[in-house]
């Protein structure tokens, strides 16, 4: 066995031994405060992965008040929680690659403190309207004026068994899928099983996590949903008479005790966005999007042990000469594409999970553009709202012919919401 691989498994064993002594506690993030439910009620194995109950809560605009432990202010056309619910989410991260180049920061070991840090406000605005706001406290985001990292205000109504939603939103880095998404495949950047996003989700490999502002129009039935989202790839003050389009279709059947899901995504169109330059002149930027993806998930149990399986495929066609650059693939030689499969197995249910993933990908740069990865990891819930993750990826293929950036990446993450 390769020495580095052996060291990795020894580290996992030591961490399992050390971490299993950490005491258990209940979570109190923003929606748990509103509903009175523990985080485990809405999440599968670990946050932010959603189970069927969590999908239903999200579908109904974050408006459910749950156990009734929190009071409401009621009047004609008014139904507000008596408390403005908030939580602070943080991610502390260390990454190390084994490359030789001094110009790659992770070759010396990079600490991101914080990698993410934002205040979340959210919950009920009325019986069928809710909201979610993310305010970033990452120093670079504050410097760049990106304090409002996320905002959405879902508005829903029901007609028989159909739920209709209109969801205005803006995001600094989640992509147009942020408007409405229920699967855990990485279809939206935040919701995935492993920290190594591009190694375990084709959608994130392309990558589709971009700034976006738009409105998601959703038709939902208990067996699935359709989402059409016109959007522009930016935030802030802008003008645009020609948005791009995002389409999403999902089916969510069950098979025995297994919760299944599968769907497709399409990003298409060309937008013209006007913004104000530093000299107060108006600048027009033309942006083109062209990509598609399919994904599947299965969440259930093998005996008493929870198991999540996720697979994705994505393709971003090459940029064609004479046309605007495809924001998901600027190469003119070939398509960027990726196939991933990953698994999350709870060896100590709702406490410790082992994970593995495989990616087979092509960058589209040339005939020799293979970009493959094997990822191993663990996820440990110190409490129901504090998670520790260890990921290690082994890279192979034409993209890794030099020793500059390295062929291995180790990531340690402490992720909390309180």
Using the predicted structure, report yes or no on whether residue 27 has a pLDDT greater than 80: no
Full residue range of the structural domain in which residue 211 is found: 3-417
| Mean pLDDT of the 53-64 span | 74
Which tokens in the block code for residue 54? 């969590």
At 49, is the secondary structure helix, strand, or coil?
Answer: coil
- Percent of the chain whose predicted confidence (pLDDT) is above 90: 55
Asked if residue 93 lies in contact with residue 413, where contact means CB atoms within 8 angstroms, the answer is yes
Of 392, 350, 389, 398, give the one whose Cα is nearest residue 375: 392
* Separation of alpha carbons 409 and 394, rounded Å: 7
Residue 249 pLDDT: 97
Residue 23 pLDDT: 36
Average pLDDT, the chain: 87
Per-residue pLDDT of 185-227, as tens digits, reads 999 998 888 999 999 999 999 999 999 999 999 999 989 999 9
Higher per-residue confidence, 409 vs 123: 409
Higher per-residue confidence, 373 vs 272: 373
Asked if residue 126 lies in contact with residue 150, where contact means CB atoms within 8 angstroms, the answer is no
pTM for this one?
0.87
**Torsional sign, CA 37, 41, 42, 47:** positive
Higher per-residue confidence, 297 vs 21: 297
Q: What is the DSSP letter of 377?
A: E
* Separation of alpha carbons 292 and 267, rounded Å: 6
Contacts of 103 (CB under 8 A, 6+ apart): 404
Q: Please state the domain count of the chain.
A: 1
Asked if residue 129 lies in contact with residue 154, where contact means CB atoms within 8 angstroms, the answer is yes
Asked if residue 308 lies in contact with residue 299, where contact means CB atoms within 8 angstroms, the answer is yes
Cis peptide upstream of residue 174 (ω within 30 degrees of 0) = no
| Mean pLDDT of the 97-126 span | 90
Element (H, E) at 35: helix 30-35
> What CATH number is attached to the domain comprising 308?
2.40.160.10
Which tokens in the block code for residue 122? 């959210």
Residue 273 pLDDT: 86
Of 399, 418, 396, give the one whose Cα is nearest residue 408: 396
Asked if residue 86 lies in contact with residue 30, where contact means CB atoms within 8 angstroms, the answer is yes
| Mean pLDDT of the 339-366 span | 95
Which tokens in the block code for residue 218? 């959703």
Alpha-carbon Rg of the chain, whole angstroms?
22
Per-residue pLDDT of 134-178, as tens digits, reads 999 888 888 888 888 999 999 999 888 899 999 999 999 999 999
Which bin fits 186, alpha (ψ -120 to 50), beta or left (φ > 0)? Answer: left
Q: For residue 184, what are the β-bridge partners?
A: none
Per-residue pLDDT of 354-391, as tens digits, reads 999 999 999 999 999 999 999 999 999 888 888 999 99
> What count of other Cβ atoms lies within 10 Å of the Cβ of residue 354?
16
Asked if residue 164 lies in contact with residue 156, where contact means CB atoms within 8 angstroms, the answer is yes
Which tokens in the block code for residue 287? 């942006």
């Amino acid at each position: 066995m390769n020495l580095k691989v052996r060291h990795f498994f020894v580290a996992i064993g030591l961490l399992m031994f050390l971490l299993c002594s950490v005491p258990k506690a209940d979570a109190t993030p923003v929606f748990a405060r509103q509903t009175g439910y523990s985080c485990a009620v809405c999440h599968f194995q670990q946050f932010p992965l959603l189970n069927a109950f969590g999908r239903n809560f999200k579908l109904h605009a974050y408006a459910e008040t749950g156990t009734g432990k929190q009071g409401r202010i009621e009047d004609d056309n008014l139904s507000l929680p008596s408390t403005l619910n908030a939580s602070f989410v943080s991610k502390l991260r260390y990454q190390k690659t084994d490359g030789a180049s001094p110009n790659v920061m992770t070759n010396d070991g990079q600490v991101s403190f914080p990698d993410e840090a934002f205040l979340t406000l959210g919950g009920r605005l009325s019986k069928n309207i809710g909201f979610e706001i993310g305010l970033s406290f990452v120093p670079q985001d504050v410097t760049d004026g990106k304090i409002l990292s996320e905002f959405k205000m879902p508005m829903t109504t029901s007609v028989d068994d159909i739920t209709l939603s209109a969801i205005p939103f803006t995001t600094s880095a989640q992509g147009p899928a942020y408007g409405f998404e229920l699967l855990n495949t990485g279809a939206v950047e935040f919701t995935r099983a492993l920290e190594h996003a591009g190694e375990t989700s084709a959608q994130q490999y392309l990558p589709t996590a971009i700034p976006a502002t738009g409105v998601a129009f959703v038709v939902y039935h208990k067996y699935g949903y359709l989402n059409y989202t016109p959007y522009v790839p930016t935030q802030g003050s802008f003008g645009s008479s020609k948005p791009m389009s995002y389409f999403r279709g999902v089916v969510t059947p069950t098979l025995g005790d297994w919760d299944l899901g599968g769907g497709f995504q399409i990003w298409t169109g060309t937008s013209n966005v006007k913004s104000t330059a530093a000299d107060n002149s108006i600048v027009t930027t033309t942006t083109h999007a062209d990509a598609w993806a399919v994904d599947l998930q299965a969440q259930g149990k093998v005996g008493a042990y929870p198991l999540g399986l996720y697979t994705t495929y994505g393709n971003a066609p090459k940029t064609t000469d004479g046309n605007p650059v495809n924001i998901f693939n600027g190469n003119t030689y070939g398509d960027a594409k990726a196939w991933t499969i990953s698994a999350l197995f709870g060896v100590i249910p709702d406490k410790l999970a082992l994970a593995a993933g495989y990616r087979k990908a092509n960058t589209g740069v040339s005939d020799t553009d293979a970009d493959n990865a094997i990822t191993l990891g663990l996820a440990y819930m110190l409490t129901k709202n504090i998670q520790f993750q260890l990921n290690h990826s082994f890279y192979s293929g034409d993209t890794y012919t030099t020793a500059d950036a390295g062929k291995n990446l180790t990531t340690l993450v402490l992720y909390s919401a309180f």
